[in-house]
Structure 1
């Protein structure tokens, strides 16, 4: 048993140096390539359940570096706005100081919508949802009065509710109400909402898009009055917004995101179109506009710096007071949202900026108008994997060859291998940066760097083991030589002593 264990341990020790280290390098290449594929499994291919177990056990070795790399691409080359289709009417600190704290009575919000609509915008999107009745409405106030105030109660009940006033404003304007999808039921959520028809070209994309069971939407009276309903959800990854769904599922139906629904209302289109295939959603369109998407209906948003978009903001207070130039709103897509201090709707972007949530929606619309889309289609992942495998196999085949020019170069210049590795990684990074800069393609240089470095590093580890073994052999030969030399010396010394004794006797 002991002999078998020693043999097994000896075989394991020899394994890293088997086939000049090629076996070890191939195991590293194959294992890391599988993990890389698991971190971003392509749509349209069933994902083995075993990979979910790996996700729970192993850290996300490739996902986080990929995200950070793409963030840096955007920081190096942020989008420069080429058009100004959006105006944001901000409920900011000045507005809150003049009108009062949020939430407002619905009749005040109706007055703001009327003031915006008077300037003839193409559409008005509200980054606001109102699932509860306004408790300051005249009928609600009447409910809280004592019976002795009968005449006042009668007068209040004769007035229209604040919901009625707001519904009238929404009906008269090209308005779109926002809603928030949720996985959890609350007292204010429902399982459905009014939304425009969606025409699907191709197979049903419900299995590919993100789906929710519940929605936090405005009151049915307000939904019926508005010209459109849309989701406000964004995709958060480690607290940062990188991708935004243009389409998603609510139960068994598709519903649009706010930007695409605003375009539908602005163009007076009867429906939103979704173009899907076997791998999921390919594009979402309105009228003659088609936006290429990821298979799950999301887009990677190319952000512009908040410093370059400040001109799109006007204060809601100035709108209410008639102090905003008409061309700031006329023929614009107007978003109404909260930006005041202390209001919670703040998002982090890949540029490292904290921006109001309404800014995210504005940047999506602006990106669609500019036609500056970031794309990471499924073939890019397969292309990366093929390149990594091809490059890794080339390294595995060529690097251990002792008769190659590279081996000769390494013997002459020991640092040449490190210099070559750095050069190759910088070259791959440069190619990925150029593809981002000029074509908007997101290519993952981080995975190429990690896997390529690990494969080359495995050979260096093997070389270290070989050097260590060689040093041990040299030391063993040297010690044996010393022992041999020591024995010969003793014989010689003895012979010399005997010769001296004989020589003295003869004299």
Structure 2
């Protein structure tokens, strides 16, 4: 076993020493660049089947590091809201304590919609869905009465159902109902949704967006009454919300998500515009608003701290009791959702904050109004790859030259290599952070750092092997420094010829 290990070590040393380390460094540069490209395959290239094999063998360390870096960008410079187009009506704990537990009868929810609509909002979006009939409706109650209460049952059946009351409230105001796309069928799922038409400009992006087969939506009676239907899905990456789809695929058709559908209802547009090409979705628009997206139709979420958005929340109890100033709703987009303990789906943002799911929808709408979007277009990935390859090849060509100015500087200045490496990496991360702050571009500095550091490491390893191969004289540790230096100075060079010696013994003189 020891002989086997020694042979492998010898082979590795020979490889690292071959060509002054250049071949190994080139293999490392090309290999890591390919793995990095696989972790975020550009949308303008067809995805080869080989990528699935690479992803199963090689951990996606580049993707994880990239996400952590982009989270750091946001934590350093979170979005500061400059407008407040959204008001959230929260069905919170104090509402449940005052009004009753959830789920409410639909007529009570209709009362809440009517109270909001009286304040003239631009639109009302319900961040919830109602796929089942209300069992507290008069006709349902009548079905459970005994035969002796036939007269009471007849009177109850003459009353409108709670669904009909809620449908009237939805029809009377610009309203949008939420829905959730799901992968698997269930008792209350369906395969279609009453949604606004999608007008595609360019190639059909149905194969680029996230596609689902089933949807969990409200009853058809409620869908017909509402002015719009919207998906509430969010994209999770290791439990964190970093992106939201603006459009999704439901079967073979495109459907909008809540922020876009709210804008369509507000602007009274007939359709949602989708702009796409061979690389995927470029933008999603409504009327004169165009939102740049990723190729799969997602928008990258630039998060504002929940501390800066608390003022958008009002309690549903206060709305029902008429205690909320009308200015909180007038000319606003209102979202109604659950925030009570145990009722809401809490989400973790890139800032590490735990927020209600309805907050994510509000932040997307707010981002569209502010007009500041995070972007990572396809060309950024190609630019990063070109920079890494160009700089890596420059290192491979220049660094091994022992007569270069860089080599002379390293020999003259102690710890020069470490200092130069730290300065260059700090400049790299600082530049990417400034580009994020002022232009909203996400540049992956971690991949550049990892790949170029690995290339530099090949030459450091080669230098250490050459250093370890030089023979040294054993000088006792307690030898004084001058004597130690003298002993090392007297050490013969490995390539020097052997010293001439004279025979010992007395020297005889001849006359």
**TM-score interval, smaller chain:** over 0.9
State the TM-score, normalized to the length of structure 1: 0.92
Q: Report the counterpart of residue 505 of structure 1 in structure 2.
A: none
Paired residues of 1:275 and 1:284 also in contact (CA < 8 A): yes
State the TM-score, normalized to the length of structure 2: 0.92
Uncovered stretches (5+) of structure 1, i.e. residues with no partner: 500-507
What is the CA deviation profile of residues 343-364 of structure 1, one whole-angstrom value per residue up to 9, with x for unaligned ones?
2311100111111110000000
Paired residues of 2:44 and 2:378 also in contact (CA < 8 A): no
- 1:399 is displaced (CA, Å) by 0.7
Q: Per the alignment, do residues 131 and 6 of structure 1 end up closer, same or farther by CA in structure 2, a change over 3 Å counting?
A: closer
Q: Report the counterpart of residue 502 of structure 1 in structure 2.
A: none
What is the CA deviation profile of residues 375-403 of structure 1, one whole-angstrom value per residue up to 9, with x for unaligned ones?
00000000000001111111111111101
Q: Report the counterpart of residue 18 of structure 2 in structure 1.
A: 18
Q: Report the counterpart of residue 128 of structure 2 in structure 1.
A: 128
Q: Which runs of 4+ in 1 moved over 4 A?
A: 5-12, 472-475, 477-481
Paired residues of 1:282 and 1:293 also in contact (CA < 8 A): yes
Distance 2:414 2:470 in 1: 18
Distance 1:10 1:366 in 2: 62
Q: Report the counterpart of residue 275 of structure 2 in structure 1.
A: 275
Q: Report the counterpart of residue 72 of structure 1 in structure 2.
A: 72
Q: Per the alignment, do residues 8 and 152 of structure 1 end up closer, same or farther by CA in structure 2, a change over 3 Å counting?
A: closer
Task: Give the 3-state SS of the residue equivalent to 2:179 in structure 1.
Answer: strand
Uncovered stretches (5+) of structure 2, i.e. residues with no partner: 476-490
Q: Report the counterpart of residue 347 of structure 2 in structure 1.
A: 347
How many residues are aligned here?
489
Task: Give the 3-state SS of the residue equivalent to 2:205 in structure 1.
Answer: coil
Q: Per the alignment, do residues 95 and 480 of structure 1 end up closer, same or farther by CA in structure 2, a change over 3 Å counting?
A: closer
Task: Give the 3-state SS of the residue equivalent to 1:30 in structure 2.
Answer: helix
Q: Report the counterpart of residue 365 of structure 1 in structure 2.
A: 365
- 1:277 is displaced (CA, Å) by 0.8
Q: Report the counterpart of residue 337 of structure 2 in structure 1.
A: 337
Q: Report the counterpart of residue 199 of structure 2 in structure 1.
A: 199
Q: Report the counterpart of residue 223 of structure 1 in structure 2.
A: 223
Distance 2:100 2:6 in 1: 82
Q: Per the alignment, do residues 130 and 472 of structure 1 end up closer, same or farther by CA in structure 2, a change over 3 Å counting?
A: farther
Q: Report the counterpart of residue 284 of structure 1 in structure 2.
A: 284
Matches within 5 A, 1:7-156: 12-156=12-156
Distance 2:31 2:248 in 1: 34
Residues 227-236 or 9-18, more deviating: 9-18
Higher helix proportion: 1
Distance 1:70 1:149 in 2: 65
Paired residues of 1:17 and 1:24 also in contact (CA < 8 A): no
Paired residues of 2:471 and 2:494 also in contact (CA < 8 A): no
Q: Per the alignment, do residues 12 and 480 of structure 1 end up closer, same or farther by CA in structure 2, a change over 3 Å counting?
A: closer
1:321 aligned onto 2:335: no
What is the CA deviation profile of residues 10-41 of structure 1, one whole-angstrom value per residue up to 9, with x for unaligned ones?
65531111111111111111111011000000
Q: Report the counterpart of residue 309 of structure 1 in structure 2.
A: 309
Q: Per the alignment, do residues 290 and 473 of structure 1 end up closer, same or farther by CA in structure 2, a change over 3 Å counting?
A: farther
